[in-house]
Amino acid sequence: MKKLLIALFSVATFAANASHLLGGFINVIQTGYTDTVNVTVTLFSDPQGIGNPTTLTLNDLVKINGFYQTSTNITLTQQSTGTWQGVNTAVYSTTAVLTAGEHRLIYTNCCRGMLSNASSAMNSNFTIALDYLKTAAGTTPNSAPFVLNYLPVKWINGVTSQSMLFAFDPDGDSIMVEKDDAINQHANNVFVPLAPFTQLTSYGSYNVDPNGLVKWKPNTLGQFGTGFKVSEYRNGQLIGVSRIQQVFQVENGSTPLIVAPFNMTINADSTITMEHDLLNGDSAYVGFTGSNYLNAQLVILGVTPNKVANTTWSVTGITNPGTYKGYLRIYGSNSNMDFPVSLVVTSTIGIKEEELNITYEVYDWYGNLIYMGEHIPYDKLKGLYVVRYKDKAEKIFVN
């Protein structure tokens, strides 16, 4: 009985001054090798609802004997607000000290707006959560994967569109994305979906790829709620899960189209591959011509593409071979189209390091020096690093 009361308490402590929440997610970044973490919450809300609060509270449950049961509160303060495709956005953050162990951070609030696939939504709660493994101070740190882009709110009826839920793990841990329910509450150590709730697979062809590619051809106009799980794996073991909530608005309209790509290949699985040869000194321009678009964005981890035109980028300045991951987002007047991108950089570094007698310093995400020598040990690296040499500092991402 005691465990049940604690679990129910975790979903009962929420602020009462936010309404019509449409989506959101939680993130935790560990500060170096300490017990200090930066906690961030991003929320999306209906402009017609009551305004977002200036502070919010997360419940922090710690797993003991296989059960999340020790409850404390973490208060976050609103840092910024904005808009995204017609909805309000708000970002909250704080710094907290967490003990080593398995944490479950939960934010629950009332209420949701009307949903076409959940008739009870107006009288149901909105819940996002993060299962986070806090490692012991002084040991290998762990930060949760964080979402680098907002999913589009608007989708087009009768048209196959795709979006990219692009998550990045600063420690180089593996990430898998999958569909989840629209969650009402957390009780008895489980997440309880809205009741009734119907997944988007009942409203047209809908698929979520493990790499974060979301495809949907909706067949019904309206507003639909759903969820996503971003799972984090280290050495093959599941160590964390982020439970994201999202509302999609299905409208009539048109989607952006790529008509003629150049220096990039659109694959059968809707991904894009770009190639770059360091040995030949490539200064490739990549991009496309298309229709129904307003603008486009190319994001690649570890590389800064230089935009030279509305849909053209230069990928010069790369010094390290490897495969760099990212996405291409094309903005339309009604909706977006996203494509997962792999930039494959081949050959070796054009300048031989040993001839220059350069000492390379490699720092991890937390600013700790992990290597110093005349060669960069790519075979022993995984994730995002900073390399310093001479008077330069460059970010590299090793997959």
pLDDT in tens, 94-152: 999 999 999 999 999 987 889 999 999 888 999 999 999 999 999 999 999 989 889 98
Report the chain's mean pLDDT, rounded to a whole number. Answer: 87
Q: How far apart are CA 187 and CA 168, in angstroms?
A: 29
Range in 204-213, 301-310, 350-359 the model is least confident about = 350-359
What is the CATH number for 316?
Answer: 2.60.40.10
> So what's the pLDDT on residue 282?
61
Last residue of a domain, one of 209, 229, 251: 251
Q: Are 142 and 40 within one domain?
A: yes
Per-residue pLDDT reduced to its tens digit, 240-255: 999 999 999 999 999 9
85: number of Cβ within 10 Å: 16
279 in the same domain as 133: no
Same domain, 148 and 241: yes
Query: Is 266 in the same domain as 246?
Result: no
Return d(Cα 214, Cα 209) in angstroms, integer: 6
List C-alpha distances in Å: 191 to 10, 45, 108, 127.
Answer: 12, 21, 11, 9
How far the first Cα of the chain sits from its last, in Å, is: 47
Q: Are residues 208 and 312 in the same domain?
A: no
Q: Are residues 247 and 391 in the same domain?
A: no
Structural domain harbouring 392: 353-398
Choose the final residue of a domain: 216, 251, 286: 251
Domain count, the chain: 3
pLDDT at 232: 98
Specify the pLDDT at position 355. Answer: 40
- Proportion of the chain above pLDDT 90, given as a percent: 64
Domain shared by 161 and 303, yes or no:
no
Q: Are residues 84 and 159 in the same domain?
A: yes
pLDDT at 160 over 80: yes
My answer on whether 215 and 314 are in the same domain is no
Whether 196 and 287 share a structural domain: no
Tens of pLDDT, residues 262-303: 889 999 989 999 988 776 666 568 999 999 999 999 999 888
Lowest average pLDDT, out of 4-18, 147-161, 312-326, 374-388, goes to 4-18
193 shares its domain with 316 = no
CA distances from 338 to 14, 197, 328 (A): 35, 27, 6
Per-residue confidence (pLDDT) for residue 39, from 0 to 100: 98
Same-domain status, 322 and 364: no
How would you class 235 by CB atoms within 10 Å of its CB: exposed for 0-12, middle for 13-18, buried for 19 or more? exposed
**pLDDT 10s digits, 53-68:** 899 999 999 999 999 9
Does the pLDDT value for residue 16 go beyond 60? Answer: no
Residue 4 has φ and ψ, to the nearest 5°, of -60, -45
